[in-house]
Amino acid sequence: MDLIFEKSRPGRTAGGIPVCDVPEIALDQVIEQRLLREDVDLPEVAEVDLIRHYTTLSRRNFGVDVGFYPLGSCTMKYNPKINEDVARLPGFTALHPLAPAEFAQGDMRMMYELQGFLSEIFGMADFTLQPAAGAHGELTGVMMMKKYFETRGDDRRRILIPDAAHGTNPATGALCGFQTVTVRSNAEGGVDMDHLRELMTGDAVGLMLTNPNTLGLFERNIEGVSDIVHSRGGLLYCDGANANAFMGKTRAGDLGFDVIQLNLHKTFSTPHGCGGPGSGPVGVSDKLVDYLPVPRIVKDGDRYAWSEDFPDTIGRVRAFYGNFNVMVKAYAYIRSLGPDGLRKVSEVAVLNANYLKEKLKPYFDLAYDRTCMHECVFTGHRQVRESGVHTSDIAKRLLDYGYHPPTIYFPMIVPEAIMIEPNETESLETLDAFCDVMIAIAREAREEPEKVKSAPLTTPVRRLDEVRAAREPDVCWKG
């Protein structure tokens, strides 16, 4: 379809500007002509053109409201509509971030209570809501670990990261000036304890562990992991990307974690918006409270205020206080569900994943055949061997059947990985229908491999040439 620029016609507009009600002076009387621009190069379309353009684009996009979205590690649960509506209340959208505290008591109360709820759910001493996304939370969390050692004059240089970790973990470690060291997984998909023992020396700040890990498996040896890390003076970091698996069942703080970053846009049902805005709160144990980013909300009686008076803080990681409007949705979600609702979320998320795992296990090989948590990881091994059909082909074929594919080729330690996260808001019928399609694709792979390899056949565009996109980059329209 045409670009908006290709629909532009000189003289059209969709947005009128009010008449100027003050005496006008010439711009160049104040600003030197050479600092002014002549024209803005933006498209000119009528309002109806704009709406049809974006409506057409939206129909070429797949969201949770369109269909099942079992994208592993991304927790694409249903986004309740009430949360969208409350977040649009003027009380939550219209305030300037530097409004005096007297104006913002409701906003601050919501944030303060949300910090408290998250602290309770995850067993942490306190939370910051400032980070804008999960990776931003990771950065904030590891910065606090760095500061913890720095204030002790303990010059540790390395950070340990399991081989199954998300790419953001090693990238985060490197951005905090640490050398990243990879810890092997063992035969049952957990941390190789001997390897951890060997690497966790007095030179390591600690371990960044995703739990449950990216294989969807809970770390059975968590107590041992925690002991090893702490006995060498290290800190234990929890990547909370998979927190949907254990709310109300266990708590990160109780398990020995010193830091956890969450993704409100996963666990707490705030929509992903095509890749953001997210929100990445970070919880800390008592050891790290002093290093939380500023400003922090302090409560005096029943009044809330912002304070920067925390001398050991790492500072700020973004302007103002975080993705506030996303927090409103997460707050409303927690209030809707309550403690039993949150526990049910995790129980059913885990139930759904295990159900899918059992149903699909005869047709696809499991990476690790044991009880999984909220997601399960298969490998496309058998299909490659039998018919040369790869995981990417299976994913593309799912598009023809109207599904968003699972996460593929991750975690990297599983070849041809297919990582399925069904989450709790999907019904038994939805899971059964998806399984039927996966089983049908497994059969197609054997019987009509070319059909699977040439998928998708029904989408607005066919497979796209990514090599060409990278070799001859075209990231801005040149006309």
Question: Could you tell me the smallest distance in angstroms from the CB atom of residue 126 to other proteins?
Answer: 16
Residue 50 or residue 366: which is nearer to other proteins going by CB? Answer: 50
Of the residues 152, 177, 299, 446, which one makes contact with other proteins according to CB under 8 A:
177
Neighbour count for residue 274 (Cβ, 10 Å) = 7
Question: What are the angstrom distances between the C-alpha of 206 and each of 183, 199, 234, 285?
Answer: 11, 10, 4, 14
CA–CA–CA angle 375, 381, 383 (5° rounding): 105
Is residue 368 within 8 Å of 437, Cβ to Cβ? no
449 contacts other proteins (rule: CB under 8 A): no
Mask: binding to other proteins, 33-72, rule CB under 8 A, as x and -?
Answer: -xxxx-xxxxxxx-x--xx-xxxxxxxxxxxxxx--x-x-
Q: DSSP assignment, residue 419?
A: E
Of the residues 151, 231, 307, 459, which one makes contact with other proteins according to CB under 8 A:
459
Question: Could you tell me the smallest distance in angstroms from the CB atom of residue 377 to other proteins?
Answer: 15
Residues 392 and 416: their CA atoms lie apart, in Å, by: 8
Residues 205-264 that bind other proteins (CB under 8 A): 217-220, 222-223, 246-251, 254-255, 263
Residues 86-115 that bind other proteins (CB under 8 A): 86, 89-100, 102-107, 109-110
Could you tell me which stretch among 195-203, 284-292, 312-320, 413-421 binds other proteins (CB under 8 A)? 312-320
Mask: binding to other proteins, 324-343, rule CB under 8 A, as x and -?
Answer: xxx-x---x-xxxxxxxxxx
Residue 14 or residue 386: which is nearer to other proteins going by CB? Answer: 14
Mask: binding to other proteins, 356-385, rule CB under 8 A, as x and -?
Answer: --xx-----------x-x------------
Residues 54 and 180: their CA atoms lie apart, in Å, by: 43
Is residue 220 within 8 Å of 318, Cβ to Cβ? no
Residues 111-170 that bind other proteins (CB under 8 A): 117, 120-121, 132-136, 138-139, 143, 146, 166-168, 170
Residue closest to 284 by CA, chosen among 145, 131, 176:
145
Q: How many residues sit in the footprint of other proteins (CB under 8 A)?
A: 199
Both structure tokens of 300 = 């005096």
Residue 287 or residue 318: which is nearer to other proteins going by CB? Answer: 318
Question: Could you tell me the smallest distance in angstroms from the CB atom of residue 376 to other proteins?
Answer: 12
Of the residues 112, 347, 413, 449, which one makes contact with other proteins according to CB under 8 A:
347
Q: Which residues pair with 18 in a beta bridge?
A: none
Is residue 129 within 8 Å of 282, Cβ to Cβ? no
Residues 189 and 212: their CA atoms lie apart, in Å, by: 11
Residues 194 and 384: their CA atoms lie apart, in Å, by: 34
